Structure 1
Amino acid sequence: MNYKRVVLIVLDSLGIGEMPDAAEYGDVGSNTLGNMARAMGGLKLPNLGKWGLGCLTDVMGVPPVSIPDAVIARAALAAPNKDTTSGHWEMMGVILKVRLNTYPNGFPDELIELFKKEANVDGVLANKAASGTEVIAEYGDEHLRTGFPIVYTSADSVFQIACHEEKFGLERLYKICDVARKICRGKFEIGRIIARPFIGSNGKYQRTTNRHDYSLEPPEPTVLENLCEKNIPVLGIGKIYDIFAGIGVPENWKTKNNEDGIAKTVEAIEKKKEG
């Protein structure tokens, strides 16, 4: 059977059960969809239910069906990582052989000092694993007083930099993220550098839609590149362009939030007849 068009939608972080190596990441018992359904007292997802979502894991409110309307399967990462970069690359045929660095206790002094020198900043704030909204609430005022970037990470292989969009400057934030991308290689190999601009004052801050991701380049050609070589159109919506460092994604539609992403996906389905 020949297909003229493929629409691949990734529901970021919506897991359906733990991986065999879950204990290495403190994820034993994880099942985002199943646990969320229980916490909500059940979900109502009639269309996904007909397709067979309830056959993949125990989803309260979405029972399994004997004959799903779709082909369904559970997939597991082959790469020794649990992050956006590894997952997306693997879906496009590139399996990372090495584990990307994670820093649950904050980045080492050597890396921070190198970043300060190369980015021409006198200091950084936070340097710990933290929630993005909580870290700007905790350090936003001090950031405005000192001008020091807020540097933090998560369970993923990420180096995130939060700065005030107006006071620190958006372009300056992007510039120091470029610096971080250049130095977070080799022994400090990190999957993504993420610019996290925010606005506000006096303890009341909110992130803006001007986030930007700086990914490593895929080490091998991806399915996306192969499609481009065969003159098959490829369109990335949201952060796909950033995750693949722009390689194999000649057309890119940025999005502001999840709702915008859905709207742009529907628009693409209506406009793009192949690819």
Structure 2
Amino acid sequence: MIERVIWVVLDSVGIGALPDANKYGDEGSNTLGNVSKSVGGLKIPNMERLGLGNIDGIKGTKYNENPIGCYGKFEEMSNGKDTTTGHWEMAGVYLQEAFPTYPNGFPSDIVEEFERLTGRSIIGNKPASGTAILEELGEEHINTGKVIVYTSADSVFQIAAHEDIVPLDELYNMCEIARNILKDEHAVARVIARPFTGDATNFVRTSNRRDFSLLPPHDTILDILKNNGLNVMAVGKIEDIFCKKGVTEAVHTKDNMDGIDKTLEYMKTDKKGLIYTNLVDFDMKWGHRNDFVSYGKGLEEFDNRLLDILNEMKDSDVLFITADHGCDPTVPGTDHTREYIPFLAYGKELKENVNMGTKKGFYHMGQTIADIFNVEKVKNGESFLKQIIK
């Protein structure tokens, strides 16, 4: 009997452009495949042992004759290619309308209201890479106390501030103010606190980032599990993505390795339910910075630590490994890419070497988790539990 699901999201590890990628300017994107090609191949034997290289059409991995896991790929149905859209869809939400984006910066009425309520002027107000905007405006921010506000191709309102100039509590409060301003037609998916340290020679974003998301439009698998007395243990930015809704306990993380450590700590408990982990370095540190070399190393580091997770698993545990979108560091631009995501499942209660094919809709994952725990269904999706369980 399955008593716990460990759900690990490799943030941005897409595996090939979706059929509608041309609508997003993402033709030819393939995060995993292009990273592997660019670094001369990846050493990820543990994911390959689970069946990663057996996924239909996947590139950059080795085929395994006898994988021990179930494997497939998922196509996003919601409009968008961002963190919130991806995670919400996994948990049972289908978004027909995309979140608003601001390729020309935020309108003056939003900016003026933000400045009035926070008491700080802003600089920036344009789409930018998180590191490039610090190089451009970090020194001015330090000299003037004006905060850096910027966006991207995603639906985000980001506030960057030096921790010595703007205390974290003030930065988080500014994010709350922005979150309250950005509603209705301007209801962006996330307001993000982007604290940094250092000087003009080397500005460094810190691990004190926080995401202030919208509330999901209806209950997700997290709420359903919690309402049925099960634990929902969130690791990394998961609780931020869901506004803490449906989460019973949570821990933030410094980096991918810390995220795996925190996941293992939860695994060492006997709590039944869901451990839901996001490993954000792939996206934040490497994808958006076009650093395919570090991206490749990060995949290999995760694969090495995957052994720790596999060794810690109880017979009543099931492991899901997936992603939420792409962020191909080898293509022009620094934004997310509209891609298929991989899916791996493993556990003593599951079959081995099951090719699940391609599934339309991330929400089938949430529906399957509902089926595993025999609780109410999520709003969208069909369970694939019968396909993978012994």
Query: Under a length normalisation based on structure 2, what TM-score does the superposition of the two structures give?
Result: 0.67
SS at match of 1:264: helix
What's the secondary structure of 2:12's corresponding residue? coil
Output the CA distance in 2 between the equivalents of 1:205 and 1:216: 29
State the match for 1:26 in structure 2.
25
The letter of the residue matching 1:99 is A
In structure 1, the partner of 2:218 is 220
Aligned length: 272
Aligned to 1:48: 47
Secondary structure of residue in 2 paired with 1:159 = strand
Give the Å deviation of 1:70. 1.1
Give the fraction of aligned pairs with identical amino acids, expressed as a percent.
47
Q: 2:207 corresponds to which residue?
A: 209
* Residue 145 of structure 2 is aligned to residue 147 of structure 1: yes
Aligned residue runs from structure 1 range 225-236, under 5 A = 225-236=223-234
Q: Which moved more, 1:262-271 or 1:8-17?
A: 262-271
What is the aligned-residue RMSD (CA, Å)?
Answer: 1.5
8 A Cα contact 2:15 2:59, kept in partner: no
Q: Deviations over 1:102-151 (max 9, x none)?
A: 12332233322232223222x31121221212211221110011111101
- d(CA) in 2 for partners of 1:190, 1:108: 13
Letter in structure 1 aligned against 2:142:
L
The residue that corresponds to 2:14 in the other structure is 15
CA distance in 2, matches of 1:134, 1:168: 20
Aligned AA (1:140): G
Which residue number in structure 2 is paired with residue 128 of structure 1?
126
Which structure is higher in RCO with an 8 Å CA cutoff and minimum separation 6? 2
Structure 2 unmatched ranges of 5 or more: 274-390
Deviations 1:74-111 (A, max 9, x none): 11111111111111111111112321011233223332
Query: Which residue of 1 is the match for residue 94 of structure 2?
Result: 95
Q: For residues 14-54 of structure 1, what are the alpha-carbon distances to aligned partners after superposition, in whole Å with 9 as ceiling and x for unaligned?
A: 10011222122221111100000000100111111122111
TM-score, normalization by structure 1 = 0.94
**8 Å contact kept, 1:141–1:203:** no
- The CA distance in 1 between the partners of 2:201 and 2:125, in whole Å, is 19
Map of 2:385 onto structure 1: none
Distance 2:70 2:134 in 1: 43
User: What's the offset of the Cα at 1:203?
Assistant: 3.9
Q: How does 1:256-271 map to 2 (within 5 A)?
A: 256-271=254-269
Match of 1:27, SS? coil
Deviation, 1:67, is 4.2
Relative to structure 2, which stretch is displaced further, 254-263 or 62-71? 62-71
Deviation at 1:66, TM superposition (A): 4.2
Q: Offset of 1:199 from its aligned partner?
A: 1.3
What CA distance in whole angstroms lies between the structure 1 residues aligned with 2:263 and 2:132? 30
The aligned residue for residue 59 of structure 1 is 59
Name the SS for the 1:63 alignment partner. coil
SS at match of 1:10: strand
Matched residue, 2:191:
193
1:117 aligned residue: 116
Give the whole-Å Cα distance in 2 for the aligned partners of 1:12 and 1:272: 27
In structure 2, distance between residues paired with 1:70 and 1:54: 11
Alignment match, 2:281: none
Give the residue type in structure 2 aligned to 1:35.
Answer: N
Equivalent in the alignment of 2:299: none
Q: Is there any run of 5+ residues in structure 1 with no aligned partner, and where?
A: none
* Structure 1 residues 54 and 267, CA gap change in structure 2 (3 angstroms): same
